Structure 1
Amino acid sequence: MRFRPGASGLALLAVCSLTLAACSAGSLGSSDDAGGSGAVEITYLTTNQDQDVKEAEQLAKDFHAKNPDITVKVETRPGGTEGDNIIKTRLSTGDMVDIFNYNTGSLFNAIAPQKNLLSVNDEPWVKDLDENFKKTVTADGQVYGAPLGGFMGGAVLYSIPVYQKLGLKVPTTWAEFMANNAKIKAGDPGVAPVIQTYGETWTSQLFVLGDFHNVSAAEPDFADKYTKNEAKYATSPAAVKGFEHTQAVHDAGYENKDFASAKLPDGLKMLATGKGAHYPILSGVVANMIATYPDAAKTVGLFALPGDDASKNGLTLWTPGGLYIPKTTEGAKLDAAKKFQAFVASPDGCKSQSAAGAPTGPYAVKGCTLPDDVPQAIKDMQPYLDKPGGSSLALEFLSPVKGPSLEQITVEVGSGIRKAKDGAARYDEDVKKQAQQLGLAGW
């Protein structure tokens, strides 16, 4: 199960699903006007949310400009479970389009890539893929997808003016983070040290899920053992800290007074207007914050959730989606689809995506750069990706095990209703049913 924001959060992150599947009216040309006798048209399937369609059409346009004999027609599908079922059905019946956009990680593995997708191991652009991304589109040693979009980070967005006013430095350990919170509370009672928005329960999970880089740094084999039921949140000294941190912020009185009812838009407003100093959240919300509060592009920064060891401080990443070619694509269409996939996984493809909308984070292709005008918070992600060992994948990309009740449990822990150790133990119980449904060994 992927970490998916709730309904209103989804809308704000531009990952909500519409309900109709149709061909986009913005498709480029047709076989008849795509060029000379060697002209070919391929169909590209993406989700029907506005930004994905806009991005797909921009890529189709820019690719066509460089390859005038190839026309890319954009077709759309719903997101969510309905869209997942469409992908699986079309692959199983051999009715998939020439190239399509889909998830990475555990959901990618669920569509049987070895059986249904074309391996891209031998394509020259694969060497330029970020290693974190490559892991999420690899099965049995074969790479199958190109990245579409930028990374998202599970991190802390922070108010730069508050930090400047109080002379604070970006923390690299949890102790430093809590010391900053103490100074904020003492230095300006009108500013909430930590924003929490439990009115949208999905936002409560970041101190746990965004901390996984620190878990991996301390226990490199945790994800593998967790999948085999050989490691638990409640008994892992590293993994339990996310729950402990959630409790510690509440116990210290660092949350905003309306944390129980506040929602994502409230949290973004507090951060953008300097009424809150820290907001643990996905970096994907930045674009929506900027749309409402343009000045936040310069006044809000980002840092990774800190752990115990400053030397291992790093960012937990959610990877971009993948662009895949089904094995049913053949002949001239296959050659064209390969060219389109290579274009997307290139600096020119990254520029095309940036032209369609501000990136959610750094691209997963070496040589791609962020536009100069991206928000400061997004710029702050890049050094973590550039530093060896400075970033790693969220647990959901390394293990299929994730229980449905985590967001309710973290709300309880963060509200003082349940202690951290109890919350972690309850979550360990919560994941059992899903692991058993997946037929995982050891459960």
Structure 2
Amino acid sequence: MTTDRSASPARLALKGDLLDFTATPRWARVDDPAVRFRPDHWLLIEDGRIVGAQAHDPGEGWVREDHGGRLILPGFVDTHVHSPQLDVIASYGTELLDWLNTYTFPAEQRYMDPEVARYGADRFLDALLAHGTTSAVVYPTVHKVSADALFDAAAERGMRLITGKVLMDRNAPEGLRDDVVQAERDCLDLIARHHGRARLAYAVTVRFAPTSTPAQLAMAGALCRADASLYMQTHVAENRGEVEWVAQLFPEARSYLDVYDRVGLLHPRAVLAHGIWLDDEDRRVLARTGAHIAHCPSSNLFLGSGLFDWPGALEAGVRVSAASDVGGGTSLSAQRTLADGYKVQALGGQRLTAWAGLHAATRGAAEALGLSEELGHFGVATLADVCIWDWAAGPVAEARMDLARDPHERAFAWMTLSDDRNLVASYVAGELRYRRP
């Protein structure tokens, strides 16, 4: 669902239980001063930006929506997701490399058709909004038209979107390979047309090391060095078989991550999905370069890729955000992703609090992307990317919520038991973009 600007009031007040973060919560701490929980408050939005929050009614001059008894959160930020892979979500029975060949690549080949690309972009972004995700770092396909379609659809909805044409010039089927010269031309044209327009940003998008030649990786690194405002997105160390393949293809590199570091792809705007099979030196490189890991627990469990050491990454100074990785991930829901994140950490002998999880999908993700002045929390002057949720949906969740004793217990139960069925409305820069039927 999309709405035009005329449907949104200039001064909007939303009442509910406001939850956001003023800093990074400490690992495993349930009572943390970084949490800002303001029950039964009004969130004040003027001309698309947050101007304050207060307990008392703002009075005349405001369009007021009373959602008392509901949860109000910043819109979620999904830092790694594949738009064409809605077509292959919940496909049976393979690990990463077989998954790509069996399901992903055939689905992506269809996006060379402009009509398929446009329909897919609209469907995908509306699905994000219907799951409470208002910003995302997205993979389209190798086809320039698929990136164009995503950029245009996001601009129509006012969303913060980071994407870019996928780079693949080897080890991919016909129809999904480019070449270095044409790929560079396509990237430069897309950058000129979209980077910095509205809330759009370009990401130099390397599929992963095995599908790019050294020449293409060098070209991608040169693009990043030429413009420090560009993002970079890729995959790293997701699966053991993939790591072994990279070692065969790049015998000169110390590690999988080193393949990217050698050509200048690691920098503060670099987003690397997964990072399960990294060593201590890799983590030091990530901390030094400012690149961050998009942790994809649902996908890692579904494809059997491995268990990410989240606290180990944090101890090494590596930033971590949360990501759905649909379609290896099985839901666009941030809550389902974080519930799987809890299970991954539990298998490693750790416990993920609701605060650490929700921070990684809101303010933490915004900070990792250099966007915390714009989104991810309810600070004054941020754009009003805001979602309203029911605390509970259905008798099981309602019974659990009735017994919750403190804010963390409520938030953890919500994170574990809720999903898109709990979403009431999504606002993007103060404009209503989704409301539950």
Q: Comparing both structures, which one devotes a greater share of its residues to strand?
A: 2
Larger Rg: 1
What is the TM-score normalised by the length of structure 2? 0.25
Question: What TM-score, normalized by structure 1, do the two folds share?
Answer: 0.25
Q: Which has the higher contact order (CA 8 A, sep 6+)?
A: 1
Relative to its length, the structure with more helix (as a share) is 1
